[in-house]
Amino acid sequence: MNEQSNNDAEIFGLLEQKATREQGFRLLVRSYQERIYWTVRRMLDQHSEADDVVQEIFIKLYRHIDGFNKESSLYTWIYRIAVNETLGHIRKSKRYKTSDLSEAQSYHSQTTSTEGLGAKHIEEVLSRAVNLLPEKQKIVFNLRYYQEMRYSKMAEVLETSEGALKASYHHAVKKIEQYIQEHGTEAIQQ
Amino acid sequence: MEQKPYNNDILNELRELESPLADLRPSTRQPELPEGYFSSLEASILSRTVDSVAQPKGRIITLSATRYMSAIAAGLCILVASIWMMRQEPSISTDLYVDPFEYYDMEEVATEEMVEFSDDYIDGILNEIDENDIAEYLSDNINEMDISSFYNDINNEN
């Protein structure tokens, strides 16, 4: 995270000065676009949809750069806007279908299969299980399990207590475990 | 994506929860993306933000303002037209002229075709009228005649 902090400090320094703001924003886009894309993509499943939302997130960041609260970190601010924007999109488009297995299947039909049928099947089962989670648990699980985000950071991003986040994550893990036991034991054993 | 060691804290937490996820390293396999996607994404974002052409700042006239302005302009036009029409002097339009010959279905006769009656001709006709005819005419039209002028005419003739 030190590297991350140094990078953020550089971006922040550039954004602070009007003359270097443009340069700072270019660096921000380059540093965060991939991570933000995958965070959004885990939530939205479809590439075209994720692409639209990611662009909207960065446009929003650019427009509100003056409103950036210096008390929070750049990382927290960016992720907070990304998560809120993604949730807003999901609610607006009503595409958040946790029980729709076809979406989970479509997600994995697009993956690059290089590790054989077993790994692919595990991925499918895991993805289906994650898609069945309630909205909040799904976000927490994605940020923790895939983005490897610390609870302290997640608490800042989602503006919730660390205890509540831990509880959500543990519930999510248990539900996924239960789903895997029911649907994917044989895949894991392979 | 560059593969890096998975966060130990997260792994330990999963082990404490005795979850099978602890044995599953989160996959680095990602869904397929168009080639060079992140380069194009960056270009697309920058073209919509820092590289976008600055729009000239002008006064924005909203649709609602235009609507009100149109209504006011229409009202002014009606008012000016009304004042102008009221200030006009009444004039008879040539369209209202009616040709009497046409109206009464009369035949217009050229001057040269008109018959001029001579005094002798008129005297001849008068002489043919006997006293009884005159008396009858007078009795029938006595109410419409000016008696005093008639009396004077007779006296003058005599």
| A110/B31 Cβ within 8 A | yes
* Residue at B15 is within a domain: no
Residues A89 and A105 in one domain: no
Total domain count for chain B?
A: 1
pLDDT category at B8 given cuts 50, 70, 90 is confident
Alpha-carbon distance A31 to nearest alpha carbon in chain B (angstroms): 10
* pLDDT for position A160: 93
Asked if residue A79 and residue A17 are part of one domain, the reply reads yes
Q: Is the pLDDT of residue B40 over 80?
A: yes
Query: Residue A130 belongs to a domain with what CATH number?
Result: 1.10.10.10
**Which residues of chain B neighbour A181 with C-beta distances below 8 Å?**
20
Mean pLDDT of chain B: 76
Q: Is residue B80 one of the residues assigned to a domain? A: no
The pLDDT of residue A107 is above 50: no
Largest CA distance in chain B: 159
- Selected residue of A35, A51, A166 to mutate for chain B interface (largest B Cβ count, 10 A): A51
| Residue B69 maps to a domain | no
Which of A123-127, B89-93, B122-126 has the lowest average pLDDT? B89-93
Question: A38 — contact with chain B (CB < 8 Å)?
Answer: yes
Tell me: pLDDT of A159 over 50: yes
Domain boundary among A77, A93, A109: A93
Q: What is the pLDDT of residue A52?
A: 95
DSSP summary character for residue B31: B
Asked whether the CA dihedral A136, A138, A142, A148 is positive or negative, the reply is: positive
Please name the residue of chain B whose CA is at the shortest distance from the CA of residue A146.
B26
Residues A88 and A108 occupy one common structural domain:
no
When pLDDT is cut at 50, 70 and 90, the band that residue A108 belongs to is very low
Is the Cβ pair A33, B41 closer than 8 Å? yes
Q: Give A-chain residues touching B1 at CB under 8 angstroms.
A: 34
* Full domain range(s) for residue B140: 110-157
With CA atoms as reference, the chain B residue closest to A130 would be B21
Of the two residues B144 and A78, the one the predictor is more confident about is: A78
**Would you place residue B9 in the very low, low, confident or very high pLDDT band (cuts 50, 70, 90)?**
confident
Residues A80 and A57 in one domain: yes
Alpha carbon of residue B137 to chain centroid: 65
Note the ipTM here.
0.76
Domain around A182: 101-189
The whole-number pLDDT of residue A45 equals 73
Asked if A68 reaches chain B (Cβ–Cβ under 8 Å), the answer is: no
Instruction: State whether residue A190 sits within 8 Å of chain B by CB.
Output: no
Whether the pLDDT of residue A141 is over 90: the answer is yes
Residue indicated by tokens 């965060």: A32
Question: Is the domain of A80 the same as that of A114?
Answer: no
Section B49-55 average pLDDT: 72
C-alpha–C-alpha distance, residues A38 and A54, integer Å: 10
CATH number for A84:
1.10.1740.10
Give residue A118's pLDDT. 63
Radius of gyration of chain A measured on its C-alpha atoms: 18
Mutate which of A11, A145, A147, A180 to test chain B, going by most B C-beta atoms within 10 A? A145
Per-residue pLDDT band for B111 (boundaries 50, 70, 90) equals: confident
Decide if B115 is inside a domain.
Answer: yes
Does residue B30 belong to any structural domain of this protein?
no
Residue-averaged pLDDT of chain A: 81
Q: Is residue B131 situated within a structural domain?
A: yes
How big is the A-B interface in CB pairs under 8 Å?
Answer: 85
Distance from CA of A189 to the nearest CA of B (A): 11
Same domain, A85 and A134: no
For residues A107 and A178, state if they share a domain.
Answer: yes
What are the pLDDT digits (tens) for A36-57? Answer: 999 998 888 789 999 999 999 9
* Whether residue A107 sits in one domain with residue A89: no
- The structural domain count of chain A equals 2
Minimum mean pLDDT range among A4-13, B38-47, B82-91: B82-91
Q: Which residues pair with A111 in a beta bridge?
A: B31
DSSP secondary structure letters along chain B: ----PPPHHHHHHHHHTT-GGGGSPPP---B---TTHHHHHHHHHHHHTTTSPPPPP-----HHHHHHHHHHHHHHHHHHHHHHHHTSPP---GGG---HHHHTTPPP--GGGSPPPPHHHHHHHHHHS-HHHHHHHHHHHGGGS-HHHHHHHHHHH-
Q: Which of A67-71, A129-133, B43-47 is predicted least confidently?
A: A67-71
Residue B74 lies in a domain: no
Average pLDDT over residues A78-94: 88
Q: Same domain, yes or no, for A149 and A80?
A: no
In chain B, residues with a C-beta closer than 8 Å to the C-beta of A110 are 31-32
Looking at beta carbons, which residues of chain A come within 8 Å of B33?
Answer: 47
